[in-house]
Chains A and B, each alone.
Chain A
Amino acid sequence: MKELKILAVIATLVGITYYGIEPYAHHVMHPEVKAADFTFGDLKNVDTKLAGNVENGKTLVEANCLACHAIEKAGHPAMMPNADSAASYGVVPPDLSHAGRIYDKNYLANFIFDPVSAMHLSHKYPVGGTKTFPMPSYNWMTPQEIMDVVSYLQSVAPKVADNAEGHKVTFEAACGRCHSMKYGQLEATTPADVIKAYMGATPPDLSQYIKSRGEHYLHGFINDPQVLLTGTSMPRVGLNAKAQEEVIAYMEETGDRKKAEREATGLYVMIYTFVFAMLAYLWKRKIWSEVH
Chain B
Amino acid sequence: MAEFKPADSLYEWFDQRLGIDKFVKVMMTEYWIPKNINFLWAMGVLLTVMFTILLVSGIFLLMYYKPDMNMAFDSVNYTIMQEVGYGWLFRHVHAVGASVVFLIIYIHMFTGIYYGSYKKGRELIWISGMLLFVLFSAEGFSGYMLPWGQMSYWAAYVITEIFGGIPVIGGDLVVWIRGNFYVSDSTLTRFFMLHVLLIPIAILGAIVVHFYALRFPHVNNEEGEFFDFDKEADKYLAGDKKGSKVVPFWPVFLSKDFFVLGFFLLFFFYLVFFHYGFAMDPVNFDKADNLKTPAHIYPEWYFLWSYEVLRGFFFEIAGISGKSLGLIAFAFANGIFLVLPWLDRSPMVKPANQRPYFKYWFWFLMVDLIVLTIFGKLPPTGANAWVGFASSVTFLLLFIALPFITRAEAKKVGGK
Contact = CB atoms under 8 A, between A and B. Distances in A.
Interface string A204-219: 1001110111100000
Contact of A17 (B272, B296, B373): B373
A270 B273 contact: yes
Contacts of A24: 374
A135 interface: no
B301 A21 contact: yes
Contacts of A284: 255-256, 258-259
B259 A281 contact: yes
A3 interface: yes
Nearest to B296: A29
B278 A211 contact: no
B285 A211 contact: yes
B272 A266 contact: yes
Nearest to B262: A277
B286 A212 contact: yes
Interface stretch (B46-54, B161-169, B263-271, B328-336): B263-271
A7 B377 contact: no
A20 interface: yes
SS of A interface (majority): helix
B38 A3 contact: yes
B348 interface: no
Interface string A13-36: 110111011101100110000000
Contacts of B378: 25, 28-29
A288 B273 contact: no
SS of B interface (majority): helix
A6 B39 contact: yes
Contact of B274 (A261, A263, A277): A263
Interface string B249-293: 001100110110111011001101110011000111110000000
B327 interface: no
B274 A3 contact: no
A212 B269 CA distance: 22
A51 B255 CA distance: 77
B246 to A, nearest CB: 9
25 contacts: A3-B38, A3-B39, A6-B38, A16-B370, A20-B374, A21-B278, A21-B374, A29-B379, A182-B74, A209-B285, A212-B286, A214-B282, A258-B88, A266-B270, A270-B266, A273-B265, A277-B263, A279-B262, A280-B258, A280-B259, A283-B258, A284-B255, A290-B241, A291-B242, A291-B247
The 10 closest A-B pairs by CB, nearest first: A266-B273, A277-B262, A20-B374, A212-B285, A211-B285, A284-B259, A280-B258, A287-B255, A208-B285, A280-B262
Interface of B: 35, 38-40, 74, 77-78, 81-82, 86, 88-89, 92, 103, 107, 241-242, 244, 247, 251-252, 255-256, 258-259, 261-263, 265-266, 269-270, 272-274, 277-278, 282-286, 295-296, 301, 304, 366, 370, 373-374, 377-379
